[in-house]
């Protein structure tokens, strides 16, 4: 008898939750046409975008596919006909270029997050300093390729500002995107790397990374990255894409973004 009561005690709240979710879905989706949208996101925003997609799929009839890559590569793919509906870049230049070239809808640009770059140097004694990097072999320091990754470009400029010689900088290890940098540092393949705050936060949260805060030098003032999204011409009449754009401004979605270490324009960093 007690077992049955206990079972009912577990099942009833679960049932109530399911019913509430069902009702909410039914209310929100009433009269809403279900659609699918492909969202191309900068590598640093991949995990956050997956969480947002899951949340939006729960409260709408729409389906979302997240395609991640470096900002420059995704922009090039879009210009070559890639079937994406929304582009969430790690900079403002590429979305603007797409608008200028007719691949994105003018006026749909919005900054959806402000990312932050950090120098992660595990095992360093004391707080990491940019200038001290020059004591390492350039090959043991890793950045995302500045040619197509905005976080890599910001890292490159930070190194230049720290008066590190051009010859040393030329020898630095460049990889495809910012997520790969995090992996290479975490696996010990390189001594230090320029990483996104969001990658460290989500990595620590899901248990794939162990990061000591004192091993990271945050470059907030020097290298805050305004990340812009834009509606692509292919997604202009796609209700799922429109819904995604609208939801980006809602408090619940902004909270998901903030939880992963991003800020919003005009906000001070509390780190």
Judged by CB under 8 A, which stretch of 76-84, 113-121, 144-152, 214-222 contacts another protein? 76-84
**The binder of another protein chosen from 209, 216, 228, 253 (CB under 8 A):** 209
Residue 103 has which token pair? 């691949």
Query: According to the binding rule CB under 8 A, does residue 114 interact with another protein?
Result: no
Spatial contact of 217 and 147, defined as CB atoms under 8 Å apart: no
Judged by CB under 8 A, which stretch of 26-34, 73-81, 156-164, 217-225 contacts another protein? 73-81
Query: According to the binding rule CB under 8 A, does residue 65 interact with another protein?
Result: yes
Residue for token digits 């270490």?
Answer: 261
Angle among Cα 152, 158, 160 to the nearest 5 degrees reads 105
Query: According to the binding rule CB under 8 A, does residue 183 interact with another protein?
Result: yes
CB of 234 to another protein, least distance (A): 9
Q: Which is nearer to another protein, 145 or 164 (CB)?
A: 145
Residue 213 has which token pair? 């805060």
Contact pattern from residue 159 through residue 178 relative to another protein, giving x for each residue in contact according to CB under 8 A and a dash for the rest = -----------------xx-
Q: Is 11 helix (H, G, I), strand (E, B) or coil?
A: helix
C-alpha 227/C-alpha 220 separation (Å) is 14
Spatial contact of 194 and 164, defined as CB atoms under 8 Å apart: no
Residue 116's beta-bridge partner residues?
Answer: 224
Query: According to the binding rule CB under 8 A, does residue 198 interact with another protein?
Result: no
C-alpha 69/C-alpha 264 separation (Å) is 22
Residues that bind another protein (CB under 8 A): 38, 43, 46-47, 65, 67-69, 77, 80-83, 176-177, 179-180, 182-183, 186, 203, 208-209
């Amino acid at each position: 008898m007690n077992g049955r009561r206990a079972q009912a005690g577990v099942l009833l709240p679960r049932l109530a939750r399911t019913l509430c979710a069902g009702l909410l879905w039914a209310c929100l989706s009433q009269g809403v046409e279900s659609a699918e949208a492909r969202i191309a996101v900068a590598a640093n925003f991949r995990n956050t975008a997956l969480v947002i997609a899951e949340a939006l799929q729960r409260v709408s009839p729409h389906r979302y596919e997240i395609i991640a890559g470096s900002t420059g590569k995704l922009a090039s793919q879009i210009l070559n006909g890639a079937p994406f509906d929304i582009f969430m870049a790690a900079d403002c230049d590429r979305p603007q270029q797409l608008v200028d070239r007719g691949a994105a809808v003018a006026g749909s640009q919005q900054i959806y997050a402000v990312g932050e770059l950090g120098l992660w140097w595990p095992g360093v004694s004391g707080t990491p300093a940019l200038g001290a990097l020059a004591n390492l072999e350039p090959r043991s320091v890793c950045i995302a390729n500045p040619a197509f990754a905005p976080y890599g470009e910001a890292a490159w400029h930070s190194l230049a500002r720290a008066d590190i010689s051009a010859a040393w900088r030329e020898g630095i290890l460049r990889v495809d995107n910012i997520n790969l940098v995090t992996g290479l540092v975490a696996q010990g393949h390189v001594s230090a790397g320029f990483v996104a705050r969001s990658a460290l936060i989500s990595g620590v949260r899901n248990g794939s990374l162990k990061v000591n805060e004192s091993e990271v030098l945050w470059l907030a003032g020097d290298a805050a990255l305004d990340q812009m999204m834009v509606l692509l011409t292919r997604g202009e009449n796609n209700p799922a894409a429109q819904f995604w754009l609208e939801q980006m401004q809602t408090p619940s979605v902004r909270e998901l973004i903030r939880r992963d270490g991003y800020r919003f324009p005009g906000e001070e960093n509390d780190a």
